[in-house]
Structure 1
Amino acid sequence: MKNIFKIFIRDLKSVLKNWVALIIILGLIVLPSLYAWFNIRASWDPYGNTGGIKVAIVNNDKGGNLQDKFISIGDELVEKLRENTSLGWQFVSEEEGNIGVERGKYYATIIIPEEFTEETLSIVNRPIKRPILIYKVNEKSNAIAPKITDKGVTTIKSQVDSNIIETVDGVIFKILNEAGVSLEGSKDKILKLMNGIISLNERIPEIENIINEAADGSLKAEGLVEKAKENLPLLDETLSSSDSLLVDTKNALEKSKGALKEVAPVVKSDLELVNRELNNLEGIINSLINTTIDKNAIINGLDNISIKFGEINSKINSVLKALEPLSKFNENIKEIVNDLNLASSKINSAIDIIGNIQSEINNAKPIDKTKLQEIKTLIESNKSIINNILNNYDSTYIPAINNAIDELTNISDNSIKLIGEAREAIPDINSLLDTLDKALNLGMEDIEKLRNEMPTIKSSLGEISRKLSTINNEGEIDKLLSLLKNDWEAVSEFLASPVEIEEEILFSIPNYGSAMSPFYSTLALWVGSLILVSLLTTEPHGFKEKIKFKPYEKYFGKLLTFGVIGMCQTIILTLGDLYLLKCYVLNKWLFIGVSILSSIIFIIIVYTLVSIFGNVGKALAVILLVIQVAGAGGTFPVEVMPSFFKKVNPLLPFTYAISAMREAVAGIVKENLTRDILMLLSYGVIFIIIGLFLKGPINKASKKFIEKLNESGLIGH
């Protein structure tokens, strides 16, 4: 043990006394850190700078017509892309786009053909034809850029799909809305006319008596007939002006029935997403209440909760948009709407509390845990509301939604049918009233003729009156108008994208550079150990007295020197990651500790190889580096690699060093961290045993071989 420390202390004194050696050692300490820092910084946010990747957009779309409305989906798409900064969109002619992508000026060109809108609108005009976007990509220009542009064209396709649905449904629901507005203005006239016709039918027996008494000169029916004739032009005017509108309304309702039937399952899916998010938020707020976390972590946690609250509120509002039109027809649906409005109000209150807490933190005030508890109470209250809705959804609310939709559909169908029949009957009613009017001034012969025709008149008028009486009250008319009058933009937007993907990220890392820091830091530590064995000797030299060191003394004596330098390398590296680059690391002390452990293990492995095998050991260390860079899963998932790397992955020290650092960076899974540390320690134990038992015999056996090799003058120490 004494000789071991003698070797180490001699090396330490040599460094401190020799300024050249000191500069070299300092360089060796800093150099691996530079290697890691430059790579981490270069990859900090590569996908956040994709605005410089130029993609040409060629819009040849000529547009098309839907219900006398001109639409150009190509122009709408271009307008949306002008606001999109995810890629460097370039709006050019087709010739320039084709030449540009061929010569590498653009990474890709997307062409919107002339018939794009026409093919899109074939969904309502028949026969249906799928619209096509032409995508040209130059894969020679860069290995990664085509993958990014592929994502861009997928995004465009998604926007186009949404635009198609929103545009077509938007026209349908706009027609319905216009019909409702038009009919609402004539509601009083329609009610007055309906009442007049029904009243006339009810007094037919009286009119028959009047006709029978006509021979006696009775004129009692004259005033009644005149009133009916006064109201008849009102009906003719209203229904004639609404003729084409009624046809469009009926067609629109038929097209929208299927979409309305999808409301119930979509609403349930949205509520289940809200419930899951509330459960996640409850876990986050509990961690903030029950643990001691630094100020920045509190702020980040509250920011995350506030963002999630906004997303939940948006989801609740989309459900309310879908249900509020139906709530007028069903008490159970009205109950859901009231509960969701209450939940939205509680979320807004929680967001206000978060704002107050953040303001207090910014003003250096202590964190008030009671306010965090208030947020937790609001979350629990909302969970109770949503769970109550979901527990009763299938048994109570789905039938209620379907019944309300069926009622709306029946009301609209019957109303449109009856109003249509009423208009068809206007000529008959007009003729009937003229006949009655003339009859009052006819002689006995004509009165007798009228009396014979009265059964037919009575039957026709009775049938019309019976049909009109089914909707002859203001409540039924209001239901019809409520169905027709809608926020057509909101409804079409909802149906264009009824389901959203609520992303749930475990162990979130805010940027790509921080996510890559475990790999580049691990790589730098191995490179640091390689540099040490390349420049520093693994054999003890420079002792004035001749000491015959035993192999294990040489081994551990120099290992201490390499280990201390390696620890210095690691401390500089990790502190730079944390405070110079400001990498996101959730557990800083664990990150530093795991890095030091990894460095020591790498030093043991590389030093042992070189100490035993000399220059051959250096070559082995380089080979190990190459295999580990490819096979440790530091960049690409090991599952996508060739079978060789899949097999060697569990055997590589890099695999466990990178994994342990990731636990420190993003969040600890105890089982994973324990496995990684035990595996790293096992590598250290194995190579120390190899060094103890093989250094002496192999050094002795290879002495003549090394001397002969050195005679060539090509190989150093």
Structure 2
Amino acid sequence: MKNGWNIYANDMKNIIRNWVAAILIGGLILLPSLYAWFNIVASWDPYGQTDQIPIGVVNEDTGSKIRGKKIHVGDNLVDTLKNNDSMDWHFTNRDEAMDKLKYGDYFAVIVIPENFSDKLATVITDNPEKSEMEYYVNEKINAISPKITDKGASTIVEQTSSNFISTVNGVIFDMFDKIGVELNENLPDIKKFEDYIFTMEEKLPEVHDLVSNGLQDTKNAQSIINEAQKMIPEAERATSNGLSTVGDTASLLSKAKNRLNEMAPKIEEDLKKAQSTAKDINKLLQDVQNQNIDFSSGKQLQNEINNSLDNAISQIGSIQSELKKLKDMNQDQQNSGNGQNGSDSPPSGNEQGGSENSSDQGDNAQNGQNQVLEEAIRRLETLGGALQEVQKNGGKITSFIEDKQQQVDSVITNLEELSGNTANKIGDFLKDYKETIEPRVKQEISQAQETLTGAKGILSEVQSTIPEVKSILANTENHIGKGQNVINTILGEFPYVNDKVNELADRIRDIQGDTDINEIIKLLQNNPEAERGFFSEPVKLNKNEFFPIPNYGSGMTPFYSVLAIWVGGLLLISLLAADVHHREDLTGRERYLGKLLTFVTIGLLQTVIVTLGDIFIVDAYIARPGWFVVFGLLISLVFMLIIYTLVSLFGDVGKAMVIVLLVLQIAGAGGTYPVVLLPEFFQAINPFLPFTYAIDLMREPVGGIIWEAAIYDMAILGLIGLGFLLFGVLFKNAVNKHTDRLMKKSKEAGLFH
């Protein structure tokens, strides 16, 4: 081990004493850091400089209309891009854009086609079409630029989609808001409509029954119309007979009136005679009462009274007979009218009504006359009865004279009163006859004549209406036929209507159970601008960084720093001797350990320059700078053990092995791309590469240390370094016996030093 230290001390003295060696060693110490620093600075913020990438934009959109409103999405997109600094946008025509793209002046070209707005406008149709945007890229220019321009094109599509969605949704939610207002205003009508549907559902069976009954009623009505049409001839005949009857009745009334006029003076004369007779009897009785009566001449007086009473009773009987004749005449007239109207086939419709009306009015007039005549006859019978009573009482005079002479005066007084009353009654009846009976009979006859005149007019009108009735019945029959067809159609469609109404009612009940229309209205009545803003960016990404790194260059610092440390070791083995020559007294282990210390010392100096330069010169973001330097020194030690051991034991083959390891580790260690994105071969070798653990260890102090992960990485690196150290110490002599012969043979070729 002492000889090993001597080799190390001698190397350090030679470096210090030989200024050329010192300059070369200084260069070797500095060069790896330049490699790291330049790469870190170059990748510091590559995506922040995309505004320097020229992209051509060609707008061929001709615009469109949505519900009468003109839209021009292409122009709107161009206006938006003019205020967008993410790329160097150039607005030109298609030919110029394609020409510049071909020769590399543009990295990409975006073409907005002429139907761009038209297809976007189909969003309100039943078959909406997606708008397409043409994108051309020249991938020959650069491997990364197409990815960046792809991102720019995607941003345009996303921005266009977002703006269009927000615009369309703004219109939609503005419509929703108006619909919500209208629904709120029409909510009572909606409630009424629901009630109407439920009422209709409830009443539909009843409607079906009514329609069915209506169909039957139309059939019955048609039968009735057929019967009425059959009875029209009878109605015509009855109307003609009615007119004839009215004429005959009017003639009879004229005769009755003339007869009454002829009889009235005679009746009045007879009544006056009866009244005069009653007065004479009364006067006679008064004279008898005032004179002394010779009872022997009582029979003679009795006979005179009886004769007078007989005359009076006879005259009253004549009057009764004349009045009865008049009554019988009216009765015959009434019976005659009823007989003529009483045909076997009664008139129908208006004819029947008009005939019956005229007949009833004639009957009422004749009945009134009969009542007046009956009253007169009754009063004459009363008067006759009174005279007969007088005559009867007069018959008692003889009896009174013979049996009870003392009662004569009383009987005569009674006779006087009776005769006086009789005279008064005859006078009253005469007055009633003149003032009431005769005028009333004449009035009734006149009214009957007027009624018959009106009836004649009605019957004439009815007769003229019969043709119209025939036409109406024919039209009604035709309409009923059409109505039956309509009702049959309704009955045929009723099951469908019934099912639909029940289905609608069930849907309304389901909606009422699942939703509340007030909640729907509340949902619709939102702020359209707020909803538009929401749908333009429905999800807002809140980025929460566990280990924030402000820029891409700082994120790449671990990879480039580790790579620089390895490159530093590669430079050392390329320029410095990895073995001690011309010293046969040294063992292989001593030569290995002595040179190892020299390589490790220079490697550590390289790492110090790299890590401190990352912190203070490049100004990379390092969360834990002290640990960044420490971890770098550990990695430098492990890397130098690997590199030096391979070169020390295998010579030029070892150098080749170091280079191969460098290539494999750059590709497979996951320094630039996640391991999961690498091909399967690199994913398979990744766990066995020192870079894998070195880069992960350097990332810890950059973002923030998780000590479990850091210790794991340090342990793996420590085991790798220890393994190579043991391998070099133990197998230096054995391996060099074979490699020395190979080295000697290769030098004989004059190509290797």
TM over 0.5: yes
- The aligned residue for residue 381 of structure 2 is none
What SS does the aligned partner of 2:106 have? coil
Q: How does 1:475-554 map to 2 (within 5 A)?
A: 487-540=527-580, 548-554=585-591
Q: Give the conservation status (yes or no) of the 8 Å contact 2:676–2:683.
A: yes
- The aligned residue for residue 471 of structure 1 is none
CA distance in 1 between partners of 2:100 and 2:744 (Å): 63
Q: How does 1:124-139 map to 2 (within 5 A)?
A: 124-139=124-139
Query: Which structure has the larger Rg?
Result: 2
Q: Give 1:411's match in structure 2, choosing from 184, 207, 218.
A: 184
TM-score with structure 2 setting the length? 0.54
Residue identity opposite 2:184 in structure 1: I
Compute the RMSD of aligned alpha carbons.
Answer: 2.8
CA distance in 2 between partners of 1:4 and 1:412 (Å): 101
CA distance in 2 between partners of 1:654 and 1:416 (Å): 77
What SS does the aligned partner of 1:500 have? coil
Q: Deviations over 1:592-644 (max 9, x none)?
A: 11111111111111111111111121111111111111111111222222222
- The aligned residue for residue 742 of structure 2 is 705
Deviation at 1:417, TM superposition (A): 7.5
Q: Give the conservation status (yes or no) of the 8 Å contact 1:594–1:660.
A: yes
CA distance in 2 between partners of 1:646 and 1:480 (Å): 56
Q: How does 1:110-509 map to 2 (within 5 A)?
A: 110-173=110-173, 249-250=178-179, 410-414=183-187, 487-509=527-549
CA distance in 2 between partners of 1:101 and 1:416 (Å): 65
Residue identity opposite 2:694 in structure 1: A
Going from structure 1 to structure 2, the CA distance change for 1:17 and 1:91 (only over 3 Å counts) comes to same
Deviation at 1:522, TM superposition (A): 0.9
What SS does the aligned partner of 1:166 have? helix
Residue 633 (structure 1) aligned with residue 670 (structure 2): yes
Deviation at 1:501, TM superposition (A): 2.4
- The aligned residue for residue 231 of structure 1 is none
Determine which structure has the larger helix proportion and give its number.
2
Residue identity opposite 1:614 in structure 2: G
Q: Give the conservation status (yes or no) of the 8 Å contact 1:522–1:658.
A: yes
Going from structure 1 to structure 2, the CA distance change for 1:6 and 1:111 (only over 3 Å counts) comes to same
Residue identity opposite 2:117 in structure 1: T
Q: Deviations over 1:163-211 (max 9, x none)?
A: 222222333455688xxxxxxxxxxxxxxxxxxxxxxxxxxxxxxxxxx
Q: Deviations over 1:234-280 (max 9, x none)?
A: xxxxxxxxxxxxxxx44xx5xxxxxxxxxxxxxxxxxxxxxxxxxxx
What SS does the aligned partner of 2:705 have? coil
Going from structure 1 to structure 2, the CA distance change for 1:419 and 1:149 (only over 3 Å counts) comes to farther
- The aligned residue for residue 42 of structure 1 is 42
Deviation at 1:409, TM superposition (A): 7.7
Residue identity opposite 2:533 in structure 1: E
Going from structure 1 to structure 2, the CA distance change for 1:705 and 1:68 (only over 3 Å counts) comes to closer
- The aligned residue for residue 32 of structure 1 is 32
Going from structure 1 to structure 2, the CA distance change for 1:485 and 1:689 (only over 3 Å counts) comes to closer
Residue identity opposite 2:731 in structure 1: L
CA distance in 2 between partners of 1:415 and 1:498 (Å): 35
Going from structure 1 to structure 2, the CA distance change for 1:113 and 1:415 (only over 3 Å counts) comes to farther
- The aligned residue for residue 724 of structure 2 is 687
Going from structure 1 to structure 2, the CA distance change for 1:689 and 1:87 (only over 3 Å counts) comes to same
CA distance in 2 between partners of 1:695 and 1:409 (Å): 95
Q: Give the conservation status (yes or no) of the 8 Å contact 1:56–1:109.
A: yes
- The aligned residue for residue 103 of structure 1 is 103
CA distance in 1 between partners of 2:630 and 2:520 (Å): 71
What SS does the aligned partner of 2:724 have? helix
CA distance in 2 between partners of 1:616 and 1:496 (Å): 62
Q: Give the conservation status (yes or no) of the 8 Å contact 2:649–2:739.
A: no
Structure 2 unaligned runs (5+)? 194-518
Q: Give the conservation status (yes or no) of the 8 Å contact 2:627–2:701.
A: yes
Going from structure 1 to structure 2, the CA distance change for 1:77 and 1:11 (only over 3 Å counts) comes to same
CA distance in 2 between partners of 1:166 and 1:413 (Å): 29
Residue 642 (structure 1) aligned with residue 679 (structure 2): yes
Q: Give the conservation status (yes or no) of the 8 Å contact 1:578–1:585.
A: yes
Q: Give 1:669's match in structure 2, choosing from 697, 701, 706.
A: 706
Q: Deviations over 1:320-351 (max 9, x none)?
A: xxxxxxxxxxxxxxxxxxxxxxxxxxxxxxxx
- The aligned residue for residue 87 of structure 1 is 87
Residue identity opposite 2:78 in structure 1: V
Percent sequence identity over aligned pairs: 45
Deviation at 1:482, TM superposition (A): 10
Q: Give the conservation status (yes or no) of the 8 Å contact 2:184–2:521.
A: no
- The aligned residue for residue 65 of structure 2 is 65
Q: Deviations over 1:379-431 (max 9, x none)?
A: xxxxxxxxxxxxxxxxxxxxxxxxxxxxx7841553797999xxxxxxxxxxx
Q: Give 1:606's match in structure 2, choosing from 643, 648, 651.
A: 643
Deviation at 1:503, TM superposition (A): 2.7
CA distance in 2 between partners of 1:674 and 1:50 (Å): 39
Residue identity opposite 2:535 in structure 1: L
- The aligned residue for residue 20 of structure 1 is 20
What SS does the aligned partner of 2:55 have? strand
Deviation at 1:692, TM superposition (A): 1.0
Q: Give the conservation status (yes or no) of the 8 Å contact 1:108–1:138.
A: yes
CA distance in 1 between partners of 2:124 and 2:683 (Å): 52
Q: Give the conservation status (yes or no) of the 8 Å contact 1:67–1:171.
A: no
Deviation at 1:673, TM superposition (A): 1.2
CA distance in 1 between partners of 2:182 and 2:609 (Å): 73
CA distance in 1 between partners of 2:691 and 2:525 (Å): 65
CA distance in 2 between partners of 1:705 and 1:666 (Å): 48
CA distance in 2 between partners of 1:415 and 1:89 (Å): 58
CA distance in 1 between partners of 2:563 and 2:522 (Å): 67
Q: Deviations over 1:117-153 (max 9, x none)?
A: 2221222244322221122222222211111111112
Q: Deviations over 1:197-237 (max 9, x none)?
A: xxxxxxxxxxxxxxxxxxxxxxxxxxxxxxxxxxxxxxxxx
- The aligned residue for residue 54 of structure 1 is 54
What SS does the aligned partner of 2:111 have? strand
Q: Give the conservation status (yes or no) of the 8 Å contact 1:605–1:687.
A: yes
CA distance in 2 between partners of 1:536 and 1:122 (Å): 75
- Higher mean C-alpha deviation, range 411-420 or range 45-54: 411-420
What SS does the aligned partner of 1:141 have? coil
State the aligned residue count. Answer: 429
- The aligned residue for residue 587 of structure 1 is 624
Going from structure 1 to structure 2, the CA distance change for 1:67 and 1:415 (only over 3 Å counts) comes to farther
What SS does the aligned partner of 1:49 have? helix
CA distance in 2 between partners of 1:413 and 1:59 (Å): 47
What SS does the aligned partner of 1:680 have? helix
Going from structure 1 to structure 2, the CA distance change for 1:169 and 1:549 (only over 3 Å counts) comes to same
Q: Give the conservation status (yes or no) of the 8 Å contact 1:104–1:138.
A: yes
CA distance in 2 between partners of 1:172 and 1:614 (Å): 77
TM-score with structure 1 setting the length? 0.56
CA distance in 1 between partners of 2:137 and 2:169 (Å): 33
Deviation at 1:35, TM superposition (A): 1.1
CA distance in 1 between partners of 2:2 and 2:524 (Å): 96
CA distance in 1 between partners of 2:112 and 2:628 (Å): 51
Deviation at 1:67, TM superposition (A): 3.9
What SS does the aligned partner of 2:166 have? helix
Q: Deviations over 1:297-316 (max 9, x none)?
A: xxxxxxxxxxxxxxxxxxxx
What SS does the aligned partner of 1:523 have? helix
